[in-house]
A and B are shown apart, each in its own frame.
Chain A
Amino acid sequence: MKSPADLNEAISIIVHTYSTSVLRFAYSYVKNRSDAEDIAQDVFITYIQKAPDFDHEMQRKAWIMSVTSNKCKDYLKSSWKKRVTSMPENLGYLPREESTLISYVYSLDEKYRIPIHLYYFEGYSVEEIARITGNKSATVATWLSRGRALLKTKIGDDFCE
Chain B
Amino acid sequence: MNNNPYKSAVEHLKFDEAFDEQTIALMLAAAQKKKTIRPFRIPRSSWRYIAAAAVIILLFIAVPLIRGPQNTNETTVAAAMTAAGYETTAQSDVTSNETTALTTLSTDVYSPGTVIEDGTMYVSSTTSRMTPRSMNELVNVADNIFTGLCVSSEPVFQNDFLYTLSEVQVTAVFKGAFQVGDIVPVVEMGGRTTVGEYRKETTVIVKDFDHYDDSIPADTNYVEGMDGFFPLKVDDNVLLFAGDTSGFLNDFTGPLYDTYGDYEGKMYFRNENVYARNTPSNTDQITFDDKSSSISLDELKLLIEDSK
Say whether B253 faces chain A, with CB atoms less than 8 Å apart: no
Contact indicator A160/B21 (Cβ below 8 Å): no
In chain B, positions 15-55 with a C-beta closer than 8 Å to chain A are: 15, 18-19, 21, 23-25, 27-28, 30-31, 34-35
Chain A residues with CB under 8 A of B19:
15-16, 19, 40-41, 44
The answer to whether A101 and B9 have CB atoms under 8 Å apart is: yes
A141 lies within 8 A of B27 (CB)? no
B-chain residues with CB within 8 Å of residue A136 when the two chains form the complex: 125-127
Could you tell me if A48 and B15 are in contact, using CB atoms closer than 8 angstroms?
no
Q: Does B106 contact A (CB under 8 A)?
A: no
Assess the A141–B161 pair: CB atoms within 8 A. Answer: yes
- Whether, in the assembled complex, B7 has its beta carbon less than 8 Å from a beta carbon of chain A, the answer is yes
Q: How far is the CA of A116 from the CA of B21 in the complex (A)?
A: 32
A37 adjacent to B18 (CB under 8 Å) = yes
The answer to whether A139 and B1 touch across the interface, beta carbons within 8 angstroms, is no
Decide yes or no: A98 and B128 within 8 Å by CB, A37-B18, A141-B161 being known contacts.
Answer: no
- The answer to whether A160 touches B6 (Cβ under 8 A) is yes
CB–CB B130/A110 < 8 A = yes
Contact of A109 with B24 in the complex, beta carbons under 8 Å: no
Alpha-carbon distance between A123 and B12 when the two chains are bound, in angstroms: 17
Q: How far is the CA of A111 from the CA of B15 in the complex (A)?
A: 24
Say yes or no: is A142 at the interface (Cβ < 8 Å to chain B). Answer: yes
With A48-B28, A149-B247 as contacts: A102 and B10 at CB distance below 8 Å:
yes
Contacting A at CB under 8 A, from B176-216, are 189, 204
Closest chain A residue to B1, Cβ basis = A123
Interface footprint category on B: 35 or more
Residue on B with the closest CB to A142? Answer: B189
A120–B6 contact, CB under 8 A? Answer: yes
How many chain A residues have a CB neighbour from B under 8 Å? 53
Q: Is the CB of A135 closer than 8 A to any CB of chain B?
A: yes
Tell me whether A149 and B1 are in contact (CB under 8 A).
Answer: no
Interface assignment of B273: CB less than 8 Å from any CB of chain A: no
Q: Chain A residues with Cβ under 8 A from B18's Cβ? A: 19, 23, 37, 40-41
Asked if B291 is at the interface (CB within 8 A of a chain A CB), the reply is no
In the bound complex, residues from chain B placing their C-beta under 8 Å from that of A153 are 244
Are B31 and A48 in contact (CB-based, < 8 A)? Answer: yes
Q: Could you tell me if A105 and B189 are in contact, using CB atoms closer than 8 angstroms?
A: no
A139 to B125, CA, bound (A): 9
Chain A positions 1-59 with a Cβ under 8 Å from a chain B Cβ: 7-8, 11-12, 15-16, 19, 23-24, 27-28, 33, 36-37, 40-41, 44-45, 48-49
Q: How far is the CB of A19 from chain B (nearest CB, A)?
A: 5
Minimum distance in angstroms from A22 CB to a CB of chain B: 9
B5 contacts A101, C-beta separation under 8 Å: yes
For A33, what are the chain B residues with a Cβ–Cβ distance below 8 Å? 13-15
14 further A-B contacts with Cβ under 8 Å, apart from A117-B10, A139-B125, are A12-B24, A15-B19, A24-B13, A41-B27, A49-B31, A97-B9, A101-B5, A120-B7, A135-B127, A137-B161, A141-B159, A142-B161, A142-B262, A160-B6
Q: List 27 A-B contacts (CB under 8 A).
A: A11-B24, A11-B27, A11-B28, A12-B21, A15-B24, A15-B27, A19-B15, A19-B18, A24-B10, A27-B15, A33-B13, A33-B15, A48-B28, A49-B31, A49-B34, A102-B13, A110-B130, A111-B130, A117-B6, A121-B7, A134-B128, A136-B125, A136-B126, A136-B127, A139-B189, A159-B6, A160-B5
- Chain B residues at the A interface, C-beta cutoff of 8 Å: 1, 3-10, 12-15, 18-19, 21, 23-25, 27-28, 30-31, 34-35, 125-128, 130, 159-161, 189, 204, 226, 244-245, 247-248, 258, 262
